[in-house]
Amino acid sequence: MTTPAAIRPLAAVHLREALTAAANGQGPAALAALMHIDPDSWTAIQQRAAVLGTGLTDLLAHTGGAP
């Protein structure tokens, strides 16, 4: 089993901001937060979403709306 990529703390903050913004119907703010996530953390987020059987778009949609 390979070690999953790490999500950097600042990327986790940006992801939380994106999910909160999406839940509040603020698509542009959600997109802006996602754009601040570094590539390595982005890969790690995608890997973890895949383990859950979903993708980031679906996660955003389930919070209240996709950006």
Segment 2-55, tens digit of pLDDT: 666 899 999 999 999 999 998 899 999 999 999 999 999 999 999 998 988 888
Task: Indicate whether this model's pTM tops 0.85.
Answer: no
Q: How many CB atoms lie within 10 A of CB 3?
A: 5
Q: Is 59 helix (H, G, I), strand (E, B) or coil?
A: helix
